[in-house]
């Protein structure tokens, strides 16, 4: 990277660290934004999926705010933006015996590069796949990192291409990479009408939602529910990498009488399950970058019992939206206090902190500051 290119990056970082809303954001300038999603799931996913779900809500909120958005994603995506298919179907649910997710992503990135001049901002959600392809225009890009960052190979790649402006999904996520070119933290958000309002008469059961994986600790959730004398309903997928863990560790446990294993649920079924629960267990054992299921539960007014790991203390408000715990004993004790949580206040907290519109507005501030520094000319102001 040349000395000339380093200076604008320093200016972008310094400007974006300010708390005031940028001039373009205040004036509501219409931006041409490319959103580049992974191809593993559709946008939004038909079943389980975190990154692609967040991209879906962000894209639709940006369109609703009057911006010109193009989404590069799988062809089975559903969006209010202009869709450019990277492949016909999302990789995970494609039953074709022969397929290459790497080849699909490389072809999509080529299409993005060919059309790059059509956009003011290129927003990548593709981990580090794009770094070697767009380095000549890195100052016009935003890269949101959605995963854990304590991975040496990933850190080496980001050190190799330090010119890319990075966005974290929690402040805690940054801890393994304090040297990164961080320009903002933007928490995830959900549409306000996605989940039902808090139930006045929730059930007595607990839920575990997400993936069956060692770091998610479904075994710990089963033990907590057993000790608390509650039924545990598990709505989770099993990735190929975790089949052995499921077969050897979890499958023997789900035969216990207090456990109901529901498998992977769609959005509507998951919403009904979570909204009717007494509480959601989030007993993780890893540096969780964000934890989308926590705010999904909050949207339903359902209190969360979560381990003090990763982003949990940043997302949760202990005693308000649930309980942050450090041990199995504390989690069992928290199960007896779930009724103390005001479900209406939990929903209100979600609306104030984690709406899709709020997420989009924070990203718009990032985009607008970027275009102010790089000199991109936004389109005309959108109609009111």
Confidence of residue 14 (pLDDT cuts 50, 70, 90): very low
CA distances 27 to 31, 173, 305, 379, 381, Å, are 12, 32, 41, 12, 8
Tokens at 226, concatenated? 């057993």
Q: How far is C-alpha 263 from the geometric centre of its chain's CA atoms?
A: 21
What pLDDT, on the 0 to 100 scale, is given for residue 376? 53
User: Rounded CA gap, 283 and 301, in Å?
Assistant: 19
Q: What integer is the mean pLDDT of 244-252?
A: 96
User: Please, what is the average pLDDT of the chain?
Assistant: 90
Run of H or E including 319: none
Task: Give the pairing type, strands 121-124 and 141-144.
Answer: parallel
| 284 Cβ contact partners less than 8 Å away, ≥ 6 residues apart | 215, 216, 217, 291, 306, 307, 309, 310, 312
What pLDDT, on the 0 to 100 scale, is given for residue 2? 41
pTM confidence score:
0.88
Query: Does the structure show a pLDDT above 90 at 215?
Result: yes
What pLDDT, on the 0 to 100 scale, is given for residue 32? 96
Domains of the chain: residue spans and CATH = 3-191+355-374 (3.40.50.2000), 206-353 (3.40.50.2000)
What pLDDT, on the 0 to 100 scale, is given for residue 267? 82
The percentage of residues in the chain with a pLDDT greater than 90, rounded to a whole number, is 79
What pLDDT, on the 0 to 100 scale, is given for residue 9? 55
Angle, vertex CA 123, rays to CA 121 and CA 127, nearest 5: 150
Q: What integer is the mean pLDDT of 12-16?
A: 47
Q: What integer is the mean pLDDT of 175-192?
A: 96
Confidence of residue 372 (pLDDT cuts 50, 70, 90): confident
Regarding predicted confidence, which is higher, 372 or 124? 124
Confidence of residue 374 (pLDDT cuts 50, 70, 90): low
Query: Does the structure show a pLDDT above 60 at 290?
Result: yes
Q: What integer is the mean pLDDT of 109-117?
A: 97
User: In DSSP terms, which residues pair with 207 in a beta bridge?
Assistant: 233, 280
User: In DSSP terms, which residues pair with 84 in a beta bridge?
Assistant: 72
Least confident of 6-10, 157-161, 303-307, 351-355: 6-10
User: Rounded CA gap, 111 and 369, in Å?
Assistant: 26
Q: What are the pLDDT digits (tens) for 70-85?
A: 999 999 999 999 999 9
Q: What integer is the mean pLDDT of 310-321?
A: 97
- List strands edge to edge, sheet with 206-211: 259-263, 232-237, 206-211, 279-282, 304-307, 322-325
Query: Does the structure show a pLDDT above 50 at 380?
Result: no
What pLDDT, on the 0 to 100 scale, is given for residue 159? 97
The backbone region for 210, taken as left when phi is positive above 0, alpha when psi lies in -120 to 50, beta otherwise, is left
Query: Does the structure show a pLDDT above 60 at 329?
Result: yes
Alpha helices (runs of H) in 197-342, residue ranges in sequence order: 218-228, 243-245, 267-275, 292-299, 312-315, 328-335
Reference 359, options 41, 72, 144; nearest CA is 144
User: Rounded CA gap, 210 and 192, in Å?
Assistant: 21
């Amino acid at each position: 990277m040349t000395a000339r290119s380093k200076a604008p990056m320093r200016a972008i970082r310094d400007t974006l660290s300010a708390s005031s809303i940028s001039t373009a954001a205040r004036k509501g300038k219409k931006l041409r934004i490319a959103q580049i999603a992974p191809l593993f799931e559709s946008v939004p996913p038909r079943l389980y999926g975190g990154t692609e779900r967040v991209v879906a809500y962000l894209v639709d909120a940006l369109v609703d705010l009057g911006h010109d958005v193009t989404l590069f994603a799988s062809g089975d995506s559903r969006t209010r933006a202009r869709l450019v298919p990277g492949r016909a179907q999302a990789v995970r649910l494609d039953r074709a015996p022969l397929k290459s997710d790497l080849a699909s992503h490389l072809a999509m990135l080529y299409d993005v590069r060919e059309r790059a001049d059509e956009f003011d901002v290129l927003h990548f959600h593709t981990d580090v796949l794009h770094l070697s392809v767009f380095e000549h225009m890195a100052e016009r890009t935003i890269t949101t990192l959605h995963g854990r960052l304590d991975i040496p190979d990933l850190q080496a790649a980001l050190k190799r291409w330090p010119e890319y402006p990075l966005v974290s999904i929690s402040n805690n996520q940054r801890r393994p990479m304090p040297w990164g070119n961080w320009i903002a933290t933007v928490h995830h958000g959900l549409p306000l009408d996605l989940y039902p309002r808090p139930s006045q008469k929730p059930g007595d059961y607990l839920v575990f939602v997400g993936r069956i994986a060692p770091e998610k600790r479904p075994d710990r959730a089963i033990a907590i529910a057993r000790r608390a004398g509650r039924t545990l309903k598990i709505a989770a997928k099993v990735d190929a990498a975790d089949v052995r863990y499921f077969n050897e560790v979890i499958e023997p446990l789900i035969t216990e009488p207090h456990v109901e294993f529901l498998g992977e649920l769609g959005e509507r079924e998951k919403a009904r399950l979570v909204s009717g629960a007494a509480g959601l267990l989030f007993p993780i054992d890893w540096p969780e970058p964000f934890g989308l299921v926590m705010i999904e539960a909050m949207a339903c007014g359902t209190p969360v019992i979560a381990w003090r790991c990763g982003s949990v203390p940043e997302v949760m408000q202990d005693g308000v939206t649930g309980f942050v715990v450090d041990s199995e004993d504390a989690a069992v004790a928290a199960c007896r206090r779930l009724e103390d949580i005001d479900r209406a206040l939990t929903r209100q907290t979600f609306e104030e902190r984690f709406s899709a519109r709020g997420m989009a507005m924070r990203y718009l501030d990032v985009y607008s500051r970027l275009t102010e520094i790089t000199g991109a000319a936004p389109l005309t102001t959108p109609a009111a």
